[in-house]
């Protein structure tokens, strides 16, 4: 028998916000029935319109803040509540950091059943304009060209002229691209009918060198008014080093295709994390917040506590960025990653930086690491930096079998981190240090570096 649900869709209610959800939404209750309200803050009283009702909870839209929190601030962006790129611009930055720390504390305690001190989140001096890469869909609506982010949970393009979390050069490229499309009446891609030529624009700016890459993603090899596009960019974008065309002819939500054509300049730009140099191509993975990445990786190196004689496994190594940091103080680093192109990049990165004690292997970490162990290669320290879904339990069990003294876990999802820390606890490991780092200000995301030690080595 279905329980009585005390809210109705499209009706307004006054709700006291008693908590915060994992993506920065406010959480309130009506007769003990949970309602999630984006853009509301704990401690506020709000007028809310119910927009979706499920069996155990509902979603509401903020209509009015009746009693605001002292931590509420005016969002700098006029389209912030429509665009989907940021979730918590309405919070003061101090409150954002406090919210993220509490999220990490709560899940580690609730899911991992671990009682550990979570350090204050390392924030940014300036929590805006921090992204070194932005990629935006291009479309047309009622005859108007639109370049922007998709609205949350939709493919409606919210047109933007400025984005406060990307580098200012991106705003300029957006305006010039729009001008070029209008002037030459170029038809943007329509994903519903799979017609039109221009799909996305991507801008990358290297923070340390100032080099800029502009990538135009097209449906076909043919780019209409190509020379005019190159000219408008070359004449107006300072620091421009590369203009690329990426071809994606598939009917897909994946942004980039596999084929790149150099239209002008070089096919890569150069940036640094710490002292390490990286060549970045259109398809390269490179952390989007280089200032905080430097802090994140330095903290991982600190928690690894290397003395110079250790063998290190770096699971989910990507393009080898953490491996290079670890190689400074390790005897040998083995980096493992399933994506072949990333491993190819990692090998180039190691060579470019004169690193000879890092070896990179293509494959699943949960398969390659047991193979290394079977060959008699045992790690003193293991670093894992898994995707959002966390580590496979089997991999954690295999790691525990070789008894590394220390494990360093770099996480982009507190919930799966907490689950995995609980598994490692059962396998004889103690979580010692948890350091959240704010890689994505104005959003609900938080990264963590965790220091873990084998209990019998304490």
Q: Which residues are known to be catalytic? A: 412
442 bridge partner residues? none
Q: Give CA 3 to chain center in angstroms.
A: 39
The CA dihedral of 365, 401, 300, 323, to the nearest 10 degrees, is -40
Cβ neighbours of residue 100 under 8 Å, at least 6 residues apart? Answer: 121, 436, 438, 444, 446
CA distance 44 to 95: 14
Nearest to 243 by CA among 218, 216, 276, 283: 216
Cβ neighbours of residue 77 under 8 Å, at least 6 residues apart? Answer: 83, 86, 89, 162, 163, 164
User: What is the three-state SS of 355-409?
Assistant: CCCEEEEECCHHHHHHHHHHCCCCCCEEEECCCCCCCCHHHHHHHHHCCCCEEEE
CA distance 155 to 279: 32
Nearest to 135 by CA among 291, 288, 320: 288
Cβ neighbours of residue 87 under 8 Å, at least 6 residues apart? Answer: 23, 24, 25, 38, 442, 443, 444
Contact (CB, 8 A) for 428 and 400: yes
């Amino acid at each position: 028998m279905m329980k009585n649900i005390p809210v109705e869709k499209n009706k307004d209610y006054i709700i006291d916000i008693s908590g915060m959800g994992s993506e920065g939404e406010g959480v309130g209750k009506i007769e003990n029935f949970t309602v999630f309200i984006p853009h509301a803050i704990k401690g506020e009283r709000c007028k809310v319109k119910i927009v979706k009702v499920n069996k155990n909870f509902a979603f509401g839209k903020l209509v009015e803040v009746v009693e605001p929190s002292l931590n509420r601030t005016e969002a700098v962006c006029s389209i912030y509540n429509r665009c989907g790129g940021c979730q918590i611009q309405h919070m003061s930055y101090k409150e954002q950091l406090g919210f993220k720390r509490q999220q990490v504390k709560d899940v580690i305690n609730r899911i991992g059943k671990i009682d550990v001190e979570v350090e204050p989140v390392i924030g940014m001096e300036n929590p805006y304009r921090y992204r070194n890469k932005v990629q935006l869909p291009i479309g047309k609506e009622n005859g108007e060209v639109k370049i922007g982010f998709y609205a949350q949970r939709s493919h409606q393009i919210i047109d933007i002229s400025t984005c406060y979390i990307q580098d200012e050069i991106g705003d300029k490229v957006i305006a010039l691209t729009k001008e070029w499309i209008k002037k030459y009446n170029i038809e943007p891609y329509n994903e519903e009918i799979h017609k039109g030529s221009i799909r996305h624009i991507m801008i990358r700016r290297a923070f340390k060198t100032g080099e800029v890459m502009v990538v135009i993603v097209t449906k076909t090899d043919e780019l209409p008014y190509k020379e005019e596009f190159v000219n408008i960019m070359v004449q107006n974008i300072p620091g421009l080093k590369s203009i690329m065309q990426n071809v994606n002819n598939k009917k897909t939500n994946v942004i980039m295709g596999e084929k790149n054509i150099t239209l002008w300049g070089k096919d890569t730009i150069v940036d640094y994390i710490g002292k390490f140099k990286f060549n970045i191509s259109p398809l390269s993975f490179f952390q989007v917040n280089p200032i905080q990445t430097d802090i994140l990786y330095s903290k991982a190196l600190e928690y690894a506590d290397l003395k110079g004689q250790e063998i290190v496994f770096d699971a989910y190594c990507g393009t080898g960025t953490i491996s290079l940091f670890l190689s400074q103080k390790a005897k040998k680093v083995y980096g493992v990653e399933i994506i072949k192109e990333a491993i190819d990049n990692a090998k180039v990165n190691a060579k470019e930086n004169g690193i000879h004690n890092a070896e990179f292997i293509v494959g699943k970490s949960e398969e390659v690491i047991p193979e290394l162990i079977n060959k008699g290669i045992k790690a003193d320290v293991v670093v894992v930096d898994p995707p959002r879904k966390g580590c496979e339990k089997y991999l954690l069990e295999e790691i525990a079998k070789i008894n590394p003294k220390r494990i360093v876990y770099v996480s982009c999802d507190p919930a799966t981190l907490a689950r995995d820390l609980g598994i490692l606890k059962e396998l004889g490991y103690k979580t010692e240090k948890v350091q959240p780092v704010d890689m994505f200000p104005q959003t609900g995301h938080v990264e963590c570096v965790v220091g873990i030690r084998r209990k019998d080595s304490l």
